Amino acid sequence: MFIYIIRHGETDLNSKGVMQGWVDEPLNESGRLLAEITGREMRTQGIRFDGCYSSPLIRAKETAEIVLRESGNPVDILCDDRIREIHFGDYDGKALERDKQEAFFLHPFEFGRFPGGECVQDVCRRTQNFLKELIARDDDKTYLVSGHGCAMRAMLNWLYDDPSNYWHGHVPYNCAVNIIEAHGGKAKLIADDKIYYDPKYCVDLYAVK
Question: Catalytic positions, please?
Answer: 8, 85
3-state SS assignment for residue 171: coil
CB burial readout 64-90, b (16+ within 10 A) else e: bbbbbebbebeeeeebbebbbbbbbee
**What DSSP string describes 75-110?**
--EEE-GGGSPP--GGGTTBPPPHHHHHHHHH-HHH
Q: Phi and psi (nearest 5°) for 107?
A: -140, 60
